[in-house]
Structure 1
Amino acid sequence: MKIICTFTLLMIPGVLSSISVTGYSGGGVSITCRYDRGYIDNEKYFCIGEQVTCSQLIKTKEKNKWVNSGRFSLYDDTRAAVFTVTIRDLSERDSGTYQCAAAISWDIDFYTEVKLNVVTGE
């Protein structure tokens, strides 16, 4: 049985937030990241690594439309000021640190840290 866990994160400028997420090998997780309404028009993205070395995995292209890239999907719901990232077909090698991010300026973005732990389970 595959289980999808949903977690909501809040992205507020000046506030560092972090959450731990557990997923099961072969299953998927859905991560919902909230952002300040002032950033509705900004690009949102999901990346792997620490803030300084974060490598983008997927980013918004159009508002209120799903974007798919391999096992990753992203939807920016500007009416609700949230974006949702789904990771499918998890494996233990997906465990690590990720970031939900809103592009704010050329040198500073706002991040919410996501610690993903993928375990083998039924």
Structure 2
Amino acid sequence: MTPGDRRPWLPVALLLLQVPGCWCLSGPTSVTGTVGGFLSVQCQYEEKFREIVKYWCKSPCLGDIVKIEKSDKEVRSGRVSIRDHPANFTFTVTLENLTEGDAGTYRCGIDTSWLPGYMIDLTFRVVVSVTPDISPA
């Protein structure tokens, strides 16, 4: 870098590209639904997590956690359902009968806390927005 160079972050960013990382869980960063409607979120995971518990929760994930422990089975809790699709390494969360109170930050998660080498669960943040229903009456 030369004096006055306005890119001091570039060497750090390049260094981070050299560090092996884990992109173990991915999905949409935001989704939008309409009041009274539904929305679905598909979270993708790596094959090595096929048999591991997956979950969905509203941040900070202190309660109302919906978990799925068996592959190819759907679990429902109130207006939320979660289904694992191990054949394509995804799980789908569906929120039904949306209310404005459903808006917020959620987490797709994999319960890795008991696996060697993992200090915390793997999670992916999803921002849920809920818009008013403006369809004609």
User: Smaller-chain TM-score range?
Assistant: 0.7 to 0.9
Higher strand share: 1
For this pair of structures, how many residues does the alignment match?
109
Output one character per residue of 1:55-91: Cα deviation in whole Å (capped at 9) or x when no partner.
3431003211111111011101111110000000000
Task: Give the whole-Å Cα distance in 2 for the aligned partners of 1:34 and 1:66.
Answer: 16
* 1:62 aligned residue (51, 70, 89): 70
**Alignment TM-score, normalising by the size of structure 2:** 0.72
Q: Is the 8 A contact 1:45 1:59 kept in 2?
A: yes
Unaligned runs of 5+ in 2: 1-21
Unaligned runs of 5+ in 1: 1-10
Higher helix share: 2
Partner of 1:86: 94
**Alignment TM-score, normalising by the size of structure 1:** 0.80
Task: Give the whole-Å Cα distance in 2 for the aligned partners of 1:29 and 1:17.
Answer: 14
Q: Percent identity?
A: 34
Q: Is the 8 A contact 2:68 2:84 kept in 1?
A: yes
Structure with the bigger RCO (C-alpha within 8 Å, sep 6+) is 1
